[in-house]
Amino acid sequence: MIEARRLHILRAVADHRTVTAAAAALYLTPSAVSQQLAALEQETGHRLVERGAKGVRLTPAGEILLGHTNAVLAQLERAEAELAAYSSGAAGTVTVASFATGIALVVAPAVALLAETSPGIRIRVQDAEGDASLPMVLDRQVDIAVAVEYRGAPPADDPRLAHVPLYAEPFDAVVPVSHRLADAPEVPLAELAKDTWIGPYPGNPCHDVVVLACENAGFQPRLEHSSDDFRAVVALASAGAGVALVPRSALRGMDLAGVVVRPVDGVAPTRRVFAAVRRGAEEHPLIRPVLEALGEVAGE
C-alpha cells in the first residue's frame, strides 16, 4: 500500500529538484526525505529518483507515479472538502499568499467582504511574490496564492493546481519630467530602446512582463537599476535615473511629482492576476467563499 504522505514528498522532490530544497519546503530533514523516498521505492518495487551533480530527477517509473500522484492528491483534497462540508465547515482559518499590490487591490477588500458574509472564516495574509506563492500552495504552506502569470509559471491546466482568473491590468510608461517623450500622449516602447531602464529583479513576474514587452518592441532593455518596490522605481525615475514600466494599480497614491505617467502606444504590456489552490481544494467550504470573494472584488 502506497502512503499518501510519501506521494507528497515525491512531488516536492520533483518540484524543487533537490532533496534539500524539498525538505526545507516540507519542514523535514533531508535524511527524513531520503528515508521516505527509499520506503516509497520499496513499496512500489521501482527506482523512482536518480541523484546527480545537478540535483535529483525522476526515473521513467518515477514520472509514471508522479502523474498518478497529482490525480491522487487532487482526489484527497476533494475528499477533505466534502468531509469539511459534511461537518459544516463554517469556521476556520484560510491562509492567502499574495504580492503587495494584489493584497491592496483584491485581498484586503475580500477580507472586509468576508467579515460581513462569512464571519466564521479567518484570513491570514502573507506577502509573497507571484513566483514564490505558487510553490507555497503546492507545499501546503498556504491555502491560496494570488499570483501573476509569468514565463515558466504552471499553466492553467496544470494537474496540481486549480486557477481562478481575477483581473488584468496594463503597465504604464514612467519617465522623468525632463524626458524627451514627457509631452507625448502615448509612449512607443521602441523609442525607449537607448534609455537606461529601472525595473524589478529577474525572478519577479513583473520583470518578465517588462523584458517581454521590450523584446516585442525590438530591443533588450538596459536595466541598470533594480528594485522590486515600485515606489523605489518611481523615485529613481523622478531622479532622472531612467525609465520604467509600472503596473497601473501600483501607481495609485504614489508621489509622482518628478515623473510623467503615460500609456504605452499600441498593445500595452499586461499582467494577468489569478488565484490558485491545490486542485481538488477549490470546493472546500472554507476556501470556496474566499475564492468567490476575491472574484467579486476583482470584478468591481
Residues of the chain with CATH 3.40.190.10: 89-167+272-299, 168-270
User: In sequence order, what are the residues at sequence separation of 6 or more whose Cβ sits closer than 8 angstroms to the Cβ of residue 24?
Assistant: none
Q: What is the model's pTM?
A: 0.72
Dihedral sign, Cα of residue 97, residue 102, residue 106, residue 109: positive
Structure confidence by residue, pLDDT tens digits, 62-78: 899 888 888 888 888 88
CATH says 168-270 is which class? alpha beta
Structure confidence by residue, pLDDT tens digits, 173-228: 999 999 999 999 999 999 999 999 999 998 888 898 999 999 999 999 999 999 99
Classify strands 49-52 and 161-176 as parallel, antiparallel or unpaired: unpaired
Residues of the chain with CATH 1.10.10.10: 4-83
The architecture that CATH gives domain 89-167+272-299 is 3-Layer(aba) Sandwich (3.40)
CATH number assigned to the domain covering 4-83: 1.10.10.10
